[in-house]
Amino acid sequence: MDKCLFCGIIENRIPNRRVYQDETCIAFLDIHPVNRGHVLVVPRIHHENLTTLPPEVAAAVASKLPALCAAVVRATGAEGFNVIVNNGEVAGQTIFHGHWHIIPRFHDDTVNWPWPQGTYAGDEINQVAFAIEKELEGFFEAD
């Protein structure tokens, strides 16, 4: 993946400031942070987004999030944090190598949250739930 920015960072071809690394993932400071201490957690293997990441890799990387989030909060003095995964261009993904954002939050920061919320009309909630359940058939047979 010569053109993938994160693959270049993982391979140390692109300078970065890592805060954690192991055999499954690396975590480094975003050079364009939403807030000071914004960390990106990136699987070492290239996959376009979270939906294409093997479940065992996703689980291994996600298992690091509690400690990484706690460290970011303590180091920055944040009052909270967001963990965000953007999947697809329409959702704000700009680097197509699946990753998690840990964004420290402060009462006086300029991040607008929460996003607008809608409602379901009539039986729409049941229709959407049914469609999702149908798509999940066969995925969790061993569970």
Q: What is the mean pLDDT for each group of 10 consecutive residues in the chain (143 residues)?
A: 88 96 97 96 96 95 97 97 96 96 95 85 95 89 61
pLDDT value at residue 1? 53
Q: Which of 38, 97, 99, 101 is catalytic?
A: 99
pLDDT value at residue 113? 74
For 5-116, the fitting CATH number among 3.60.150.10, 3.50.50.60, 3.40.50.300, 3.30.428.10 is 3.30.428.10
Q: How far apart are CA 18 and CA 20, in angstroms?
A: 6
Give strand ranges (E) for 25-116: 25-29, 39-43, 80-84, 100-105
pLDDT value at residue 139? 81
Pairing of strands 39-43, 18-21: unpaired
pLDDT value at residue 143? 52
Active site residue 107: no
